[in-house]
């Protein structure tokens, strides 16, 4: 009886040792086909002083589980060209989704691109693992803190002022709408409130109050090392914000290496500031610190003076440049 039971027990153990790994591998193949991953940013725009978050979600449509799914998360600051990455080990629940919120603290401004191009799923017993190619990505724009200040000589700032042009940016002008009234012959067509006019079957005009007849020309330098350019962006953000808060509208300019010319944005609100800096993040930094002043004379000779935010003598500063 002992021999009989012993032999049958060893036979059962042998069968289990043979079958269980096979079942584990089959379950792994099913999970490999059923798993998916997504990546998103609840706040696609944050300031550098804030902690941002990424939402990572693993979805498993099969009845099998795994306690070791390796997710390769890549990070790239597209403006400065810096690349990093990390590997996360996460569980995979049966017929369920596993969600994880990842906190991120930013040390530099710019446009951050997050991507997951591959995950590795290991079977429950840890015998083998399979790699799966995925495509999950999201972007976060990091802007300077709003309290950024600048080293400015306010007595010379008036040299950088030029007469504002209301038609530079389509659909905007340098004024606020104070009232809506009926059309009077001689009113500008651009002031007609078309939606309200359609409702009332009569031409209605937006009555505007002028806020400023001048604008400040600010040129942001993207020359230098990444740390220097980052400091320049922080200073420029504070300068532009200060002028907009004082209802002085800004003509923001920067040199674009890709287009080999100056890019211009009319800044009339806080939203315009973020939109313009978001466009700057798609540019490329360069080494020549005198490139803006060199080309400004030939491309924009009409500018008598402007404010240049650049890295000067070991710090970022806003200086007035006379375009002579």
Contacts of 173 (CB under 8 A, 6+ apart): 166, 167, 190, 208
SS3 of residue 113 by DSSP: strand
Share of the chain above pLDDT 90, in %: 21
Q: What is the pLDDT of residues 241-282, one digit of tens each?
A: 888 888 788 889 999 888 888 888 888 888 888 889 989 998
Answer yes or no: is pLDDT of 93 > 50.
yes
Q: What is the pLDDT of residues 46-67, one digit of tens each?
A: 888 888 899 999 999 999 988 8
Contact 311, 231 (CB under 8 A): yes
Average pLDDT over residues 70-76: 93
Q: How would DSSP label each residue in 141-174?
A: EEE--TT------GGGGGGGEEE--TTSSTT--S
Strands 161-163 and 214-220: antiparallel
Q: What is the pLDDT of residues 109-134, one digit of tens each?
A: 999 999 999 999 998 888 888 999 99
Contact 222, 285 (CB under 8 A): yes
Mean pLDDT score across all residues of the chain: 80
- 111: enclosing H helix or E strand: strand 110-122
Q: How would DSSP label each residue in 276-291?
A: HHHHHTTS--BS-TTH
- 131: enclosing H helix or E strand: strand 129-143
Any idea which of 83-87, 170-174, 220-224, 228-232 has the lowest mean pLDDT? 170-174
Answer yes or no: is pLDDT of 198 > 80.
no
Q: What 8-state DSSP symbol labels residue 223? A: B
Contacts of 204 (CB under 8 A, 6+ apart): 180, 181, 182, 183, 192, 193, 196, 197
Q: What 8-state DSSP symbol labels residue 183? A: -
Give the residue, 42 or 212, on which the prediction is more confident: 42
How many whole angstroms separate alpha carbon 120 and alpha carbon 112? Answer: 24
Q: How would DSSP label each residue in 303-322?
A: -SEEEEEEEETTEEEEEEEE
Give the residue, 172 or 62, on which the prediction is more confident: 62
Q: What is the pLDDT of residues 10-40, one digit of tens each?
A: 777 777 778 888 888 888 899 899 999 999 9
Domain range annotation of the chain: 35-143, 154-169+212-322, 175-210
Give pLDDT, residue 209. Answer: 43
Give pLDDT, residue 179. Answer: 61
Q: What is the pLDDT of residues 143-156, one digit of tens each?
A: 988 654 444 554 45
Strands 35-40 and 305-312: unpaired
Q: Which CATH code for domain 35-143?
A: 2.60.40.10
């Amino acid at each position: 009886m002992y021999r009989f039971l012993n032999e049958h027990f060893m036979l059962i153990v042998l069968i289990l040792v043979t079958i269980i790994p096979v079942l584990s591998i089959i379950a792994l193949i099913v999970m490999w086909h059923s798993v998916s991953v997504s990546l998103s940013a609840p706040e696609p725009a944050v300031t550098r002083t804030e902690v941002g978050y990424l939402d990572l979600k693993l979805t498993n449509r099969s009845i099998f589980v795994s306690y070791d799914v390796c997710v390769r998360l890549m990070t790239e600051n597209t403006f400065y060209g810096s690349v990093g990455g990390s590997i996360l080990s996460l569980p995979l629940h049966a017929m369920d989704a596993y969600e994880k919120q990842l906190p991120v603290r930013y040390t530099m401004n710019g446009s951050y691109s997050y991507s997951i191009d591959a995950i590795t799923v290991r079977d429950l017993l840890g015998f083998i693992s399979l790699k799966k190619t995925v495509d999950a990505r999201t972007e976060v724009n990091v802007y300077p803190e709003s309290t950024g200040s600048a080293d400015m000589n306010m007595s010379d700032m008036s040299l950088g002022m030029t007469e504002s042009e209301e038609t530079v940016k389509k659909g905007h002008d340098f004024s606020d709408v104070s009232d809506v009234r009926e059309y009077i012959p001689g009113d500008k067509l651009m002031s007609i409130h078309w939606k309200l006019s359609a409702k009332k079957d009569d031409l209605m005009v937006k009555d505007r109050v002028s806020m400023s007849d001048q604008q400040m020309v600010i040129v942001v330098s993207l020359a230098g090392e990444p740390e220097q350019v980052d400091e320049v962006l922080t200073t420029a953000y504070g300068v532009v914000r200060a002028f907009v808060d004082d209802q002085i509208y800004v003509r923001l300019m920067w040199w674009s290496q890709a287009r080999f010319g100056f890019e211009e944005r009319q800044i009339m609100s806080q939203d315009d500031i973020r939109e313009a800096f978001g466009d700057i993040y798609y540019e490329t930094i360069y080494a020549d610190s005198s490139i803006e002043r060199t080309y400004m004379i030939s491309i924009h000779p009409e500018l008598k003076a402007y404010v240049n935010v650049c890295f000067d003598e070991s710090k970022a500063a806003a200086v007035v440049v006379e375009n002579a």
